[in-house]
Each structure stands twice: as C-alpha cells, then as structure tokens.
Structure 1
Amino acid sequence: MAEVILQGINKNFGETPAVSDLDLVIADGECVVLLGPTGAGKTTTLRLIAGLERPDHGRILIGGYDVAKEAPAGRDVAFVFQQYSLYPHLSVYDNLAFPLRSPARRLDKNEIDRRVREVARMVRIDHKLDNRSTRLSGGEMQRVAIGRALVRRPAIYLMDEPLSSLDAKLRADLRLELKRIQKELGSTLLYVTHDQIEAMTMADRIGILTEGRLAQIGTPREIYSNPANVHVAARLGQPHINLFPANLLPDSKIPAGTQTIGARTEHLDITLGGHVNAHVAWVEHLGDQNHLHIRLGDCKLTTLANPRLPVKPGDPIGLALRNPLYFGADGNRVV
C-alpha cells in the first residue's frame, strides 16, 4: 500500500470543469470516501488516479512517484466499477485469478491458487469457486468483483459506488464486509458514493465534493458536527438538516451576520403544553422512531421523535433551539 497525493488537479471536458484545484492526501492504510451528488466530480477523480483520464494540470503521486503521465497499467491501482464487469464465460475461480495471470505479474500457479482461495474466503464466496459468474446472485457477483481487485494487492483500491445496484439489506451487509476487509488488510482505499450512510460508516475521513471542488474533508464526526457551509451540512444527516431564516425562532445566542439557521434533530427541543409556536403536520411511524413533520409559520421542519411521544397530526407543540448551526448570507458558517 502507499500514500496517494493529488496536487492542484484540474480536469475539463470541453468548456465544462469536472475537477477544479483539487488537493487531496490519502494516507497509507486510510479509507477516504468522496461524497457528493451526480456531477460533483467523484468518478472523474477516480479515473484520474487510475489513469483512465489525464489531468489538464496538477500532479498525482502514488508512493512518492508522479504518475500523472503513466499509463493505467503502470500505476499499480485496482478499480472496482459500479457494475460487476465479470467475464461471463469464466468461473468464479478464473475471474478472481484473471488479474494474476497477466504477463506483468509473473506469479506461479501455486501462488495464484493460494491468493484466489484466500481472497475467496475473505469475501465469503469460496463455496462458489466452480460456478460460472452468470449463475450468481447480484450480491455474489459484486463479491467476486471486489475479490478480483483484492487479489492484486495494489498501492490503492479505487471503488466507484460498488454497492449502489444492490438491495438495502445486502448493501448494509457488504459495506460492513468491505470495512472489515479494509481494516484486516490495512489497505489504502478511495471510495466514491452518494450514500451518506456508506460514507459515515466506512470512512476514516469524508471528502465532500461539489461542482468539482473539495468543499471540506474531515472525519465523519467533524463533517457532521462542524460543516464549513450549508452545502456540506446538507450532505449528512437523516432526516436532512432543517434550514430556516434566523428570525423564525427566538435564540439569544445568534451571532452577528447570521442569515440562516441549521437545525438537526439534536438541535430541536419539543414540548407539549405551555408555550405553543408550531403544530404537527404529519407523523411517519418507522418502528423504533418517528419522523415528525412540523409546520412553523411558513416553514416545514422535520425531526426525529420517540415513538411514544403522544402527538398526532394537527397537535400544537412548543419548539425551541439548542446550540444550532449558524450560516451567513454567503452560505458559510458564522463562528
């Protein structure tokens, strides 16, 4: 494994900027997740590191070597794509062994067999080694695709939303498997997703991309608790952060220059009886918790509530702020 450094990376497609002034350091053995909407530049960043695209400006260093002009084969990276991309005519064993049979690897048959079986056990597909890849479930095919990257032991693993086509239960299972494997191997991993739960549960650090620029990077807790701006604040949190004008709720601690207040669930106190300033518009029952949709003046807010809270649509409630986030007119945090 190796440290990967991106310095001043720019990439345009025609007149459209895909990545702009990107500086990023991925430490040896670290899992960094790039989070952002479609078109934010996440996949382009992966392709630039892999050598599938060339930067217009900037340097890409892998293990201290500038590889910006190297061909993909010379970069020692492994790429897991969003789709499985397996060879349908080959067995699971041969799909896993395929990268090791390249003339550039020159591994003997026994070493190939050892690595294939070791990785197959790691991704829990060893009972399917003789099956054709077309006779696997979606989850099994994705395990094979991930395993095919793992057998390589490259400087860095690049993963482009590899779980996005799976059902929710399987995604939850596989993201835990991926994190376990990454920690066991001590591997360097750059993972791209638009799913905030994947980012929060898998990342050592999360990088928030917007329109090709890195808006903020930090641990999941730092990004969630101390977002640099409104865009970053809106990327994490379920339900989404509530954003409303600064004068909507009384708050004696509002800093000068505040235009917008951001309130997550933990920033809102709900009281029944006494002072009333809002009412319940709708209640979503989710089993262990409720999503409470609240009407406050002309604004709609959403928060989590204990399912035993005795409220129903139309009920009046009191709403107060507790240490919310403050944003200025430019969308940046007001400290």
Structure 2
Amino acid sequence: MADIALRTVTKHFRSVTAIDGLTLDIADGELTVLVGPTGAGKTTALRIVAGLEKPDQGEVWIDGHNAADLEPAARDVTFVFQQYSLYPHLSVFDNLAFPLRSPARRVSEPEIRKRVEEVASLLRIAHKLANKSTQLSGGEMQRVAIGRALVRKPSVYLMDEPLSSLDAKLRGDLRVELKRIQQDLGATILYVTHDQIEAMTMANRIGVIDKGRLIQVGSPRQIYEDPVTLYVAQRFGQPQINVLPAGLLPNGALPVGAVTVGARTEHLDLRKDGGGEAVVEWVEHLGDQNHLHVRLGAHRITTLTPPDTPFKSGDRVAVGLTKPLYFDAQGLRVRSA
C-alpha cells in the first residue's frame, strides 16, 4: 500500500473553483472519507489523485513520489465509481479478471484464477462467478465492481460513493463488508460520500469539504464532538443538531462573541413541567427510540428519547442545556473560557 499527500491543490472549471487549496495527508493503510454536499469538490479531488484531471496548482504525491508527470495507468490506483460499470456480456469471473488481462499489466491465467477466486471468496460472491453480470442483484453487482478494484492489488483505492445506489439494508451490509476488507488488506482508501453514517462508521479520519475547501479533518469522534464551524456540526448527527439563538435557553454566562448555540440530542435535558415554556408538538415512534418535536416560542427543537418516555403531544416541558456548542455570526466555533 502507499500514502497520499495533496499539497495546496487547486482546480478551476472555467469560472468555477472546484478545488481551492486542498491540503490533505492520507497515511499508508488508512481509510479517509471526504464528506460534503453535491458540488463540494469531492469527486474532483478523487479524479486529481487518479490523474483523470490535472490540477491548475499544487502537487499530488503517491507513495513518496510526485505524480505530476505520471499518466493514470502509471499511478497504481484503482477507481470504484458510483455506478457499477460492469460489462454486461461478460461473466462475473471475466468482469473480475478484466483488469488483469489488460496489455499494461497482463497476468498469467493461473494467477488470474487464483486472484479472482480469492477476491470472490472475500466478497462472498464465489458462487456467482459463472453468472452474467445482468443476472445479479444490485448488491452483488456492487460487490463485483469493488472486487474488480481489489483484484488488481493497487497501492491506493479511490471510491466515489460506491454504495449510494443501493437500498438501506444493502448499504448497511456492504459498509460492514467494506470496512472488514479494508482492515484485512491494510488498504489505503480515499472514499467519497455525502452520507454521514458511512463516514462515521467506516473512516479512520473524516475530511469535511465545502465549495472546494477542506474545513476540518479529524477522527469521527473529533468531528462530531468538536466541530470548528456550524457547517461541520450540521453535517453530522441524527436528528440534525438544533440551531438556536444564544441565550434562548439558560446555561450560565455566554462565551464572548457567541450568537448561535448548537444543541445535539445529548445536550438537551427535557422534563415534564406544567409551567414550562416549551410544548411537545408530536412524537415519532421509531421502535427503539422516539423523535420528540418540541416548540419553544418561534423555534423548533428535535431530540431523541427512550421508547417508553411518557411524553405526548400537548405536554408542556422545561428544556435545559448541557455542554452546548457556541458559534459566532460567521458560523465559527466560539469556545467557553
């Protein structure tokens, strides 16, 4: 495997700045996830590492070598796309073997069979090797697409939202599979998604990107508990963090410059209180937990409660804060003294 280093990488498409001074280090054997909305520059960053796009400024280093003059085929990376991009007329075996039969890196047929069978077993699709790709389910096709990258044994894996077209259960299953495979192989992976759950459950480190700029990099726990901006705080957490005017709820003296308070579900303390200023509007019963929707004046608050919590619509409640996050008028974090 190999490490990756991007140094002040900038990329423009006419008047649009897709990547703006991106600097990021990915260690050997690390799974780093870039998170951001559509158009944030995530896929462009992948394409620059792969050599499919050339940066206007900055450098890309792979395994300690400057990749500026290397063609995509010489960078020893594989790319897993959002769509499966399988060859419909080929069997699963031949789809998996295809990269090993290219003129650039031809491998002997006995070695091809060995690698394909190993990867198929790893992905639990060994019983499908004789099937045409059109005879597979969506989850199986995505496993083949991932397997086609794994069989190459490259230095770096680049993955562009590979699970986004699957249903919720398959996504959950393949998240676990992909993390297991990454740990077994010690693979270096740069993974792109807009899904916070994929990022939190799979990543060693998360990079939050917006409008081409890297806002924050850290472990999933760091990103969740210690966001540097309101934008980062709002990317993670389900339900989404509550954003309220500072001082709306009592919590002692406010930090200097605090304009907004971010209150996650674990930062809220609710109790029934006939004289409370907040009112329960409705309760969503989700089986293992409830979403409690509360109105406080003109503001709405959403939080989680255990399924047996006795709140119901119309109840008046008192709302308290514990360990909230504060932000200034520009959305930058303001820390308590």
The TM tier, using the shorter chain, reads over 0.9
Residue 139 (structure 1) aligns with:
139
Say which SS state the counterpart of residue 319 (structure 1) adopts. strand
| Corresponding letter in the other structure for 2:39 | G
For 2:277 and 2:323, how far apart are their aligned partners in 1?
19
For 2:311 and 2:106, how far apart are their aligned partners in 1?
68
Residue 304 (structure 1) aligns with:
304
Q: CA deviation at 1:253?
A: 3.8
Alignment of 1:5 with 2:11, yes or no, is no
For 2:118 and 2:205, how far apart are their aligned partners in 1?
28
Residue 317 (structure 1) aligns with:
317
Q: CA deviation at 1:287?
A: 0.4
Say which SS state the counterpart of residue 103 (structure 2) adopts. coil
| Corresponding letter in the other structure for 2:47 | R
Describe how 1:12-91 pairs up with structure 2 within 5 A: 12-91=12-91
Residue 219 (structure 2) aligns with:
219
Please say which of residues 183-192 and 299-308 is displaced more in the overlay: 299-308
Q: CA deviation at 1:93?
A: 0.3
For 1:252 and 1:162, how far apart are their aligned partners in 2?
46
Q: TM-score, normalised by structure 2?
A: 0.98
Describe how 1:1-335 pairs up with structure 2 within 5 A: 1-273=1-273, 276-335=276-335
Q: CA deviation at 1:273?
A: 2.5
Q: CA deviation at 1:330?
A: 1.4
Q: CA deviation at 1:106?
A: 3.0
4+ aligned runs moved over 4 Å, structure 1: none
| Corresponding letter in the other structure for 2:302 | T
Deviations 1:13-70 (A, max 9, x none): 0010000000000000000000010010001100111111110000000011111232
Please say which of residues 156-165 and 100-109 is displaced more in the overlay: 100-109
For 1:273 and 1:211, how far apart are their aligned partners in 2?
45
Q: CA deviation at 1:247?
A: 1.9
For 1:299 and 1:65, how far apart are their aligned partners in 2?
53
Q: CA deviation at 1:254?
A: 1.9
Q: CA deviation at 1:321?
A: 0.4
Q: Is the 8 A contact 2:123 2:177 kept in 1?
A: yes
For 2:190 and 2:177, how far apart are their aligned partners in 1?
16
Q: Is the 8 A contact 2:100 2:107 kept in 1?
A: yes
Say which SS state the counterpart of residue 116 (structure 1) adopts. helix
Deviations 1:196-247 (A, max 9, x none): 0000000000000000000000000000000000000000000000001002
Say which SS state the counterpart of residue 318 (structure 2) adopts. strand
Q: Is the 8 A contact 2:278 2:297 kept in 1?
A: yes
Say which SS state the counterpart of residue 333 (structure 2) adopts. coil
Q: Is the 8 A contact 2:272 2:315 kept in 1?
A: no
Q: CA deviation at 1:275?
A: 5.1
Q: Is the 8 A contact 1:224 1:236 kept in 2?
A: yes
> Unmatched 5+ residue regions in structure 2?
none
| Corresponding letter in the other structure for 2:235 | R
Say which SS state the counterpart of residue 197 (structure 1) adopts. helix
Please say which of residues 220-229 and 268-277 is displaced more in the overlay: 268-277
Q: Is the 8 A contact 2:247 2:254 kept in 1?
A: no
Q: CA deviation at 1:134?
A: 0.7
Deviations 1:158-189 (A, max 9, x none): 00000000000000000100000000000000
Q: How many residues align?
A: 335
Say which SS state the counterpart of residue 159 (structure 1) adopts. strand
Q: Is the 8 A contact 2:260 2:326 kept in 1?
A: yes
Q: Is the 8 A contact 2:96 2:144 kept in 1?
A: yes
| Corresponding letter in the other structure for 2:40 | A
For 1:304 and 1:143, how far apart are their aligned partners in 2?
35
For 2:68 and 2:315, how far apart are their aligned partners in 1?
61
For 1:59 and 1:282, how far apart are their aligned partners in 2?
53
Deviations 1:94-149 (A, max 9, x none): 00000011122232111111100000000111000000101111110000000000
Q: Is the 8 A contact 1:249 1:320 kept in 2?
A: yes
For 1:253 and 1:189, how far apart are their aligned partners in 2?
44
Q: Is the 8 A contact 1:2 1:188 kept in 2?
A: yes
Say which SS state the counterpart of residue 105 (structure 2) adopts. coil
Q: TM-score, normalised by structure 1?
A: 0.99
Q: Is the 8 A contact 1:41 1:209 kept in 2?
A: yes
Q: Is the 8 A contact 1:54 1:69 kept in 2?
A: no
| Corresponding letter in the other structure for 2:100 | L
| Corresponding letter in the other structure for 2:10 | N
For 1:237 and 1:149, how far apart are their aligned partners in 2?
31
Please say which of residues 299-308 and 62-71 is displaced more in the overlay: 62-71
For 2:69 and 2:179, how far apart are their aligned partners in 1?
31
For 1:79 and 1:253, how far apart are their aligned partners in 2?
51
